[in-house]
Amino acid sequence: MIKRLLIPLGFLLIFSFSSCSKYQKLLKSTDNDVKYETALDYFEKKDYTRSLELFDLLQAAYRGTGKGEEISYRMAYCYYHLKDYSVASFYFKKHAQTYPTSARAEECSFMNAYCYYMDSPRPSLDQSNTILAIKELQAFADQYPKSSRVAESNKLIDDLREKLELKDFNIALLYFKMEDYQAAITSFQNLLKRYPDTDRGEEVLQNMVRANYEYAEKSIPEKQRERYEAAIESYNNLRFQYPESTYIGLLEPIHEKARKKIVK
């Protein structure tokens, strides 16, 4: 049984070595046409690493030609499929700028923005790339307002804004849990200003009631009245905007305490 396995394994190693040897000879070859066709073949077979290496060698030789445009386009997708989105976005943008009248210019402009979207990290991390992605997607929609991809761009922008909103919300909650009520209140207020259509409005307002009340409790006497009033105002906003909210009943005791503190 072991002997039977060794024979095919030997053939496999020989074939693999032979294939690598042929590829290395191709890299050193001066026949650019063969390199180009082989690069296309590797691309179709999804061997993006080898395809990219060959295309990279051919860039200068075919610059300004039809093959040069094809190389530029395929290189961008090689980086994209290899999940190197930052480099892919560079090549997509470069292609769109170098060949603005190409039938692929719109596609590459979109893919440039989409690579920023793919490079956007989870909400707990720095969101600089998320902000850049929104900017690039909006720039695409402005440049190609009649494109069939505009609807997708808008959907991606909504996804990214939701990520930014979630990060802001989590930061505000963290301040609240740390009992830094002033920072929590400011963060919740800024969130409502930045995202007036947020689905978290009810949650934000109920936290603002609690934060304002606790802030008042820990304040010096001269500052307490205005902060109890802020708690009452947050409670009234909650009742007005979400009259069916279950938080209204839960927060009623806090509301009553704040009212009694004021009339003293």
pLDDT of residue 21: 77
Mean of all residue pLDDT scores within the chain: 92
Q: Could you read off the pLDDT of 84-137 as tens digits, one per residue?
A: 999 999 999 999 999 999 999 999 999 999 999 999 999 989 999 999 999 999
pLDDT of residue 187: 98
In this prediction, residues 62-89 reach a mean pLDDT of 96
**What element of type H or E holds 9?**
helix 2-28
Q: Which residues of 102-137 are buried (b: 16+ CB within 10 A; e: fewer)?
A: eebbbbbbbbbbbbbbbbbeebeeebebbebbbebb
- Find the helix packing angle between 221-241 and 201-217, rounded to 10°: 160
Question: Which 3 state secondary structure label does DSSP give 57?
Answer: helix
List the single range of 57-66, 134-143, 162-171, 188-197 with lowest mean pLDDT: 57-66
Q: Could you read off the pLDDT of 202-249 as tens digits, one per residue?
A: 999 999 999 999 999 999 999 999 999 999 999 999 999 999 999 999
Residue 179 phi, psi (nearest 5): 65, 25
- The class level of CATH for 178-264 reads mainly alpha
User: In sequence order, what are the residues at sequence separation of 6 or more whose Cβ sits closer than 8 angstroms to the Cβ of residue 247?
Assistant: 202, 205, 206, 209, 238
Q: Name the token pair of 61.
A: 């030789």
Q: Per-residue pLDDT for 41 more than 60?
A: yes
Of the candidates 129, 80, 76, the residue with the CA atom closest to the CA atom of residue 98? 76
Other CB atoms within 10 A of residue 32 CB: 14
Rounded Cα gap, residues 215 and 224, in angstroms = 8
CA atoms within 13 A on the CB side of 262: 16
Task: Residue count of the chain, please give it.
Answer: 264
Question: Which 3 state secondary structure label does DSSP give 219?
Answer: coil
Q: Per-residue pLDDT for 44 more than 60?
A: yes
pLDDT of residue 202: 97
Rounded Cα gap, residues 161 and 10, in angstroms = 55
pLDDT of residue 19: 56
Count, in order, helices (H) and strands (E) of the chain.
12, 0
Q: Per-residue pLDDT for 6 more than 70?
A: no
pLDDT of residue 20: 65
pTM beyond cutoff 0.85: no
pLDDT of residue 11: 46
- Sign of the torsion angle spanned by Cα atoms 69, 72, 75, 76: negative
Residue 160 and residue 130 in contact, taking contact as beta carbons nearer than 8 Å: yes
Q: H helices of 195-220, where?
A: 201-217
Q: How far apart are the first and last CA of the chain?
A: 94
pLDDT of residue 30: 78
